Amino acid sequence: MAAPRWSVLGFWIRGNSQGLGSVLILISKPFCSAAAASEPLNAQRLAEKLRAQKQEQVTKKEPVSTNPVQRRVQELVRYTQQLQRVHPNVLAKALTRGILHQDKNLVVINKPYGLPVHGGPGVQLCISDVLPILAKMLHGHKAEPLHLCHRLDKETTGVMVLAWDKDMAHQVQELFRTRQVVKKYWAITVRVPMPSAGVVDIPIVEKEAQGQQQHHKMTLSPSYRMEDGKMVKMRSSRNAQVAVTQYQVLSSTLSSALMELHPITGVKHQLRVHLSFGLDCPVLGDHKYSDWNRLAPQKLSVGILKKLGLEQSKARYIPLHLHARQLILPALGSRKEELNLVCKLPHFFVRSLRRLGLEMPNQDQSKNNEAR
C-alpha cells in the first residue's frame, strides 16, 4: 500500500501512520501558530535561513591554504566582499573608530581599502551613503549630513577630509583645486625607478585601449619623443591634462621599492599612470595599469612572488598598495595654523613591506627628506 502524502505550505511529506502526528506538528507549528496574514513573512524568513545555510556550506567548501600569506589574501578578498554587504550603521561606526582629526569645521577619516567614495553601477555601499549616519553618531540625531571635500579611488587607503557644512566643503575643494593642499602618498612599486628621485611632468589623457576587451584608460600624452636620437615635438591632444608628480625612493631592494609621491596636480589616476607608464614601476597590485592593452592580473617576477609566498595564479587578489599618507591643509576659517594630517599604513601594506624586505623610514629620515 502506498504511503500517504500530505502537503503543508508547499512541503510534501511521505510516511506511515506511526509517529506522523509529531512530524506534522513539528513542521507546521510555525505556520499554524500565526494568522494567515503573517504566513508570507514566516515563509520569507525560512527562505532567508535556507539561503544563509547554503552560503555557509559554500564558504566551508572553500579550501583553506596552509600558507599564511595566501590565507591573508583570502581574508582580504572576503573582507572586501563583506564590506559591500555590511549595514550602513556598521560601516559608519567603523569609520568613527578611524577618525584622525575632528573640529567644528572638519572631520578627517582613515578611508579603508575597497570602499568607493561615490555610488555607481554595481556599488551597493559607499562613503557618501553613510555621511548622514556618521554625522548623527558624532553630533546627535539633529546633525546635518557631512560633505565630501575630495575623493580617493576605491582601492586607495588613507587620509580623507569631510566638512560639516557646504560652505566649508567648497572652501576646502577650492584649496585642492588651486593646489594649496600638500598631498603625500606612499606606494610599493614593482621595480625601482632610475633616478631614485625626480619629477614626472607628462600630460595625461584618457584613451580607448585596443584589446580583447574594449575599455578606457588614462595614459601619457607626451609633448616630445625621441626619433633617431633626436627630440621631436609631437602634436598635443586637445583633451590632455597637465600632470606633474614629484617622487622619491624611501627604501628599495633589487625588485621593489617604497616610494613617497607628491602629486602637484590632481588628474584622475595620475600617480598610477606616471609610475607605470612614465617610470616603468607600476604600483604593486595595480591590475589596471600594469599592462596597457589588457585588463588582466598583474604579472610579477618570480622573486617577488617568492617573497610574498604566492603563485602567479593568485596575483589577482593582491590589493593596490597606494596609501594617502599625509595631507597638509593651510590655515582656514578660525584656524590660524596649518593642519598636518598623517595616517598610519594599513596592515596589509606593512606586511608586504616586511615580506619584500623594504624598510619603514623613521621620523628623522622623513624630516630629512622633507628638508631636501
Among positive and negative, which fits the CA dihedral 45, 50, 55, 60?
A: positive
Amino acid identity for residue 129 in this structure: D
Strand partners, 161: 108
Residues in the chain: 372
CA nearest to 240, candidates 202, 278, 291, 209:
202
Q: Which helix (H) or strand (E) holds 325?
A: strand 322-329
* Residue labelled with grid coordinates 622573486: 303
Interatomic CA distance for residues 147 and 157, integer angstroms = 19
Interatomic CA distance for residues 283 and 352, integer angstroms = 12
Amino acid identity for residue 308 in this structure: L
Interatomic CA distance for residues 197 and 302, integer angstroms = 27
Candidate list 129, 153, 165, 201, residue with the active-site label:
153
> Radius of gyration over alpha carbons of the chain, in Å?
27
Active site residue 153: yes
Interatomic CA distance for residues 345 and 42, integer angstroms = 46
CA nearest to 217, candidates 262, 272, 266, 261:
272
* Residue labelled with grid coordinates 598598495: 321
Amino acid identity for residue 61 in this structure: K
Residues designated as active site: 153
